[in-house]
Structure 1
């Protein structure tokens, strides 16, 4: 009678772990290959920028690429040891986008834009990657985060309130979303995107059963009970408060959209999305007619070429310049270093999509959007394969944050929706955004490694007794 612990015929227990090691090495080798391809793309962009602006090459492009390569290779090496089964596409995609952003900022710097600083962006990238590596070391299993659900909720609330503290918040900005500590400015709402996603994931795992309860049907939808509407009303009220007190339309839209998607994934009830959209439309309508900041954004969006909006301070001048730049780029673009993105205000940050669209054209912009689409798709795939509800919700929420933010930014630049002031993930200049985005990359990598590790059956030696 064959023992239950014996290895399958033709196979020994010592040979079983070898395919797993080969598969793991294959993932990391694939990641390294994609990283090298990303470096080639970034190097080509940097050299073309130099040739287009100055007409010559120098070693500064190689120095910029070297910094990017050292930082991302460090994370790759760390993944080989502590997350060997992590997704092999996320790091190369983030590297490519980050490198293209540095290339455009370098181009604007060579073009005389005083606010563009490529070495500062390299420094911010280094800080972001360092924090990402720290997350990989500290969070060996994503389920640890679930233990501190309400602590992350409290941290999120504190981060949102920091810009409103007198003496700490920067009141000169159009939106009160920055804090100033000595010579440094920081946007705590960027970090809050991660902490809020963790809080939502942890909360919805525990409250899913009550939120899934149905009171009655209406128009084919199963509506939730009235007493279960509290969470969505609280989140809606907080987002409206952000809009009113911080004058930050983009962040309030991002948080509310994140909650809607996560509650839908958690419960599977389309009625929650419908209720959320009704609340959003109601809040947006009231804000558009009663809050001057929102009303001005909407009017500048509807009629950007009106002299009333075009010539005013904070009007539609930036939007119109970005649209002219995109139109000038056409299908294949003017070529890196050959356009005039420097005449668009804040081309290195808020309107970097317009700058890239002008010089890379519709084709280049489409390729960039495809990279974002692939990044979000990998995040959704990690969530779909998750072995626990918390991991599924967290991966889906973090991937959706990137996707929704790209839609809000690109939609504003192309005049699909009003401008909101959000930054383009990985591309735009800014330390707060880069830090947050690389933390998101690290968490998704950890989630993907945990999913594959937990789903891999554990092979016991043949000589070990197996108890029933």
Structure 2
């Protein structure tokens, strides 16, 4: 009988009938190379098809606005809008070269929302034709969109590896502090109707807080990667839930204090909520401890209640929210007139809307900026709003997917933080105009008129695309 050592092993038995190691490796390598070549091309082809669809939606919206409001088509503004579509296609070409595995849905969604916003802003401009003061916010929005797309392309070209941003986390913190303080500088800051969040640079107005939310996300991601272990250590147990140790409460107390200072000195409830909510979600994703959320929500609600009882402008927002139809609130300066007319606009739109160019969105104050969603709700109806919210939901879900698929902690936190910043803005604005929560000073991403908001949101798009390319979200075959 043969010796035990002469019998084939289990591994050798399984290998019978299979190619040799060299043959298997060569075959597998060829298959891997083929998949790696096809996968990026497939992603970019999907993006191109969706971009063509997005361009068609944007062009159709502009044409329908002109036909509804004017009864004819004017080609002048269409040529300006076509430059935006051309730049989006150029950005697609850049992605084919420098970020071939980037998410294919983000750019078309951003373009569609931006195009719908331009069309509705232009429609509100048409309502001022022939009046004493004609607005040209639609033209300005096109110019700002072109600038925002150019900057987004520059971000893609300059930042080839998003992980290098972690090295500059403290620089990002310093830049955030500077941007937060700029509106308070005498001679530079400009006070709006309620909030002091704008600065004047020559003839241009800019809202530095919009850029600060990006730099804060970079700082939070870099900081939490380092401090995650200490922040995850739990302290005393209260009501069945373990809370952080007292010595680890410093970061959340500092951010809470910053949010309250923004609320007090800049009179901006929305921005303070955005900054604090951004940090709260990122610390929860970093540590996985729900006690941070409970603690953070309690801190913010406590601060908001104190502010509502001691600060007149915050108290006015709560009064307009709770009693919008009371005559004293309706007629007061900064009262509920805007909120009520926006609600009537939604009601006038009904299920399918009045049609682009055929409603009266200009009745609501700031219809092209703070209340752009009410303007679209009137002319596109509930069905159109559901479609728009569906686009936001898809955009945010792709951002969350980018974050959770990533292998490195910095990319995960940055992706989730940037996506959540968009999600929180949409919720706060939509909740405010529909009277779910009090009104704040935030703007609807991509839709509302304003260059600062457009610049920041397109930078967010560029960073999400860069992160998605860096973590390689698509399926891959790895050769051992």
TM-score range, shorter chain: over 0.9
Q: Using a 3 Å threshold, how does the CA distance of structure 1 residues 169 and 249 change in structure 2: closer, same or farther?
A: same
Greater mean deviation of Cα atoms: 115-124 or 285-294:
115-124
- Measure the CA separation in 2 of the matches of 1:254 and 1:387: 27
Conserved 8 A contact 1:39-1:65:
no
* Per-residue Cα deviation, 1:125-178 (whole angstroms, up to 9, x for no partner): 111111111111111111100001111001100000011111111135421111
Residue 227 of structure 1 pairs with residue 247 of structure 2: yes
Conserved 8 A contact 1:354-1:413:
yes
Residue 304 of structure 1 pairs with residue 328 of structure 2: no
Q: Using a 3 Å threshold, how does the CA distance of structure 1 residues 9 and 92 change in structure 2: closer, same or farther?
A: same
Residue 210 of structure 1 pairs with residue 226 of structure 2: no
SS of the counterpart of 2:189?
coil
* Per-residue Cα deviation, 1:72-131 (whole angstroms, up to 9, x for no partner): 111101000000000000000000000000110111111217344222111111111111
CA deviation after TM superposition for structure 1 residue 13, in Å: 4.2
1:157-196 aligned within 5 A: 157-171=177-191, 173-196=193-216
Conserved 8 A contact 1:197-1:258:
yes
Match of 2:421 in 1: 401
Residue 243 of structure 1 pairs with residue 263 of structure 2: yes
* Per-residue Cα deviation, 1:329-350 (whole angstroms, up to 9, x for no partner): 0111111111100111111100
Match of 1:122 in 2: 142
Question: Structure 2 unaligned runs (5+)?
Answer: 1-11
Q: Cα RMSD over matched residues?
A: 1.9
Conserved 8 A contact 1:86-1:448:
yes
Larger Rg: 2
- Measure the CA separation in 2 of the matches of 1:215 and 1:182: 52
Match of 1:51 in 2: 67
- Measure the CA separation in 2 of the matches of 1:10 and 1:177: 61
Residue 31 of structure 1 pairs with residue 47 of structure 2: yes
1:71-86 aligned within 5 A: 71-86=87-102
- TM-score, scaled relative to structure 1: 0.95
- Measure the CA separation in 1 of the matches of 2:188 and 2:81: 36
Match of 1:360 in 2: 380
Match of 2:277 in 1: 257
Match of 2:392 in 1: 372
Conserved 8 A contact 2:32-2:477:
no
- TM-score, scaled relative to structure 2: 0.92
- Measure the CA separation in 1 of the matches of 2:113 and 2:79: 18
SS of the counterpart of 1:347?
coil
- Measure the CA separation in 2 of the matches of 1:351 and 1:267: 37
- Measure the CA separation in 2 of the matches of 1:454 and 1:345: 45
Residue 101 of structure 1 pairs with residue 117 of structure 2: yes
Conserved 8 A contact 1:43-1:61:
no
- Measure the CA separation in 2 of the matches of 1:62 and 1:424: 24
- Measure the CA separation in 2 of the matches of 1:350 and 1:4: 67
Greater mean deviation of Cα atoms: 41-50 or 227-236:
41-50
- Measure the CA separation in 2 of the matches of 1:9 and 1:203: 42
- Measure the CA separation in 2 of the matches of 1:413 and 1:183: 30
CA deviation after TM superposition for structure 1 residue 397, in Å: 0.5
- Measure the CA separation in 2 of the matches of 1:208 and 1:5: 43
- Measure the CA separation in 1 of the matches of 2:403 and 2:274: 19
Q: Using a 3 Å threshold, how does the CA distance of structure 1 residues 9 and 36 change in structure 2: closer, same or farther?
A: same
Q: Using a 3 Å threshold, how does the CA distance of structure 1 residues 415 and 18 change in structure 2: closer, same or farther?
A: same
* Per-residue Cα deviation, 1:159-199 (whole angstroms, up to 9, x for no partner): 00011111111135421111111111100000001000000
Conserved 8 A contact 1:205-1:390:
yes
Question: Structure 1 unaligned runs (5+)?
Answer: 461-468
Conserved 8 A contact 1:50-1:107:
yes
- Measure the CA separation in 1 of the matches of 2:278 and 2:125: 35
Match of 2:9 in 1: none
CA deviation after TM superposition for structure 1 residue 436, in Å: 0.1
1:133-144 aligned within 5 A: 133-144=153-164
Residue 391 of structure 1 pairs with residue 411 of structure 2: yes
SS of the counterpart of 1:66?
helix
Greater mean deviation of Cα atoms: 238-247 or 451-460:
451-460
CA deviation after TM superposition for structure 1 residue 421, in Å: 1.4
Greater mean deviation of Cα atoms: 207-216 or 166-175:
166-175
| Runs of 4 or more consecutive aligned structure 1 residues displaced over 4 Å after TM superposition | 1-5, 12-15, 453-460
Conserved 8 A contact 2:36-2:476:
no
* Per-residue Cα deviation, 1:364-420 (whole angstroms, up to 9, x for no partner): 001000000000000000001011001000000000000000000011100111110
